[in-house]
Chains A and B, each alone.
Chain A
Amino acid sequence: MTPVLDEDALMIRIAAGNEEAFRLLVVRWERDVLSFLIHMLGSVEEAEDLVQDTFVQVFRKAASYRPAGMFKSWLFKIAGNLARSRLRRRKILSWVPFDPVFHDTGDSGRSPDSNLEQDQRAAAVQAALDRLPGRQKEALVLNRFQGMRYREVATAMGTTVAGVESLIQRALGALRSDLEGKGDLL
């Protein structure tokens, strides 16, 4: 059986300039990063741009990566920083109100047979996510959609586990208040 290189081993090779290791890392993680960025930005097109930027940064920072089994947190820290920066720029340029995620989900991989009701529900949930304060949203997305534990989220966001717990508690409380006013969603 072919042993699979873990991310730490790949990163060491990437730091040494190994192209194939870099390719493997990109194809292994690009979809997770894209999914995270779609949630954060509400735009597939912008998210795709930032996926590229994320991996360019991974390559440039490879030499400073410490192989301690925390690659996922490190990766999403980079992606999160880029997303926050993009959101700040969007705010400055007053591109608001920004239509929620599904304004351009033509290639987002949603099932073609998904019905209108599901789409509306998804749009309502994403719109409610978009109304959350940035850090609450980021913590919740990493935990709920990327399956990251509070400890990993804390590392990715540069905060404590208690801080993450608080962010997620507040996010869920706000979402509930928001979605309870939306008919029979809850």
Chain B
Amino acid sequence: MKHVRELIRALVAGELDPDRTDAVQEHLAECAECRAEADRSRNLWNLLGAAEVSPAGSGSVWPAVRARTLGSPDETRAWFYGKGPLIRTGLATAAVAAGLMVGVLAPAGSAEETAVGGASAEASWLLESSWLSGSSWLADVGTVGLDEILLGADPADGGNGS
């Protein structure tokens, strides 16, 4: 086998398939020149690890991102109470009607709905997405667990993201 200099960096980066990995390893066992090249490549790869950054101390950007995308809860409240009494009544009526529509249209008896049905008003927003997730255009998404959303149980979160 000829020298495998070109494959060594891919080997170090873990990008070679098992067959090619075996072939390169066999060559390295016999070729001192390529073995030295492999050592240098590994050293460089490991040295790069010195520049690894793990920004553990930073706070979450969520509050800022939320404010920039969804607005702050206070703004939403201010928007609602900034309307006249007639408009507020109309909006409230529309919200109740929409809630009733969802209640009528949502398929009964699923675990997700049971979870949502007993949840707070805040969680009732999720009822809509629960209902949507059962519709055909999203059927290929696969298993959907609302527990994580309802309970905020994200293992990667560590509970400090809100």
Chain B neighbourhood of A64, CB < 8 A: none
CB distance from A133 to the nearest CB of B (A): 17
- Are B43 and A186 interface neighbours, CB within 8 A? yes
Residue of B52, B65, B147 touching A55 (CB-CB under 8 A): B65
Q: B45 contacts the other chain (Cβ, under 8 Å)? A: yes
Among the interface residues A26, A125, A179, which one has the most CB atoms of the partner chain B within 10 A?
Answer: A26
Residue of A35, A143, A179 touching B54 (CB-CB under 8 A): A35
Known: A5-B149, A23-B62. A18 touches B69 (CB 8 A): no
Q: B18 contacts the other chain (Cβ, under 8 Å)? A: no
Chain B neighbourhood of A26, CB < 8 A: 60-62, 65, 161
CB distance from A55 to the nearest CB of B (A): 5
Chain A neighbourhood of B61, CB < 8 A: 26, 30, 48, 51-52, 55
- Are B126 and A108 interface neighbours, CB within 8 A? no
Q: B51 contacts the other chain (Cβ, under 8 Å)? A: yes
Residue of B44, B52, B128, B162 touching A16 (CB-CB under 8 A): B128
Chain A neighbourhood of B6, CB < 8 A: 169
**B interface, over-half SS:** helix
Contact with B along A67-84 (1 / 0, CB 8 A): 100000000000000000
Residue of B nearest to A16 (CB): B129
Chain B neighbourhood of A126, CB < 8 A: 51
Complexed CA–CA distance, A150 and B66 (Å): 33
- Are A24 and B154 interface neighbours, CB within 8 A? yes
CB distance from B154 to the nearest CB of A (A): 5
Chain A neighbourhood of B15, CB < 8 A: 149-150, 165
CB contact list, B91-139 vs A, under 8 A: 125-126, 128-129, 132-133, 138
Q: A34 contacts the other chain (Cβ, under 8 Å)? A: yes
Q: B40 contacts the other chain (Cβ, under 8 Å)? A: yes
- Are B148 and A5 interface neighbours, CB within 8 A? yes
Complexed CA–CA distance, A27 and B153 (Å): 12
Complexed CA–CA distance, A179 and B13 (Å): 19
- Are B53 and A108 interface neighbours, CB within 8 A? yes
Chain B neighbourhood of A23, CB < 8 A: 62, 66, 161-162
Chain B neighbourhood of A16, CB < 8 A: 128-129, 132
Chain B neighbourhood of A30, CB < 8 A: 60-62
Contact with A along B44-83 (1 / 0, CB 8 A): 1101101111111110111011101110000000000000
Complexed CA–CA distance, A31 and B156 (Å): 11
Q: A20 contacts the other chain (Cβ, under 8 Å)? A: yes
- Are B55 and A107 interface neighbours, CB within 8 A? yes
Show the binding face of B for A, using Cβ within 8 Å.
6, 9-10, 13, 15, 40-41, 43-45, 47-48, 50-58, 60-62, 64-66, 68-70, 125-126, 128-129, 132-133, 138, 141-145, 147-149, 151-157, 160-162
Q: List, sorted by A's number, 19 A–B pairs whose CB atoms are closer than 8 Å.
A: A2-B153, A3-B144, A24-B149, A26-B61, A26-B161, A38-B55, A48-B58, A52-B61, A55-B61, A56-B69, A60-B69, A109-B55, A109-B56, A144-B45, A144-B48, A145-B48, A145-B52, A172-B41, A172-B45
10 residue pairs, one from A and one from B, having the closest CB atoms: A27-B161, A3-B145, A109-B56, A125-B51, A59-B69, A2-B147, A109-B57, A55-B65, A126-B51, A109-B55
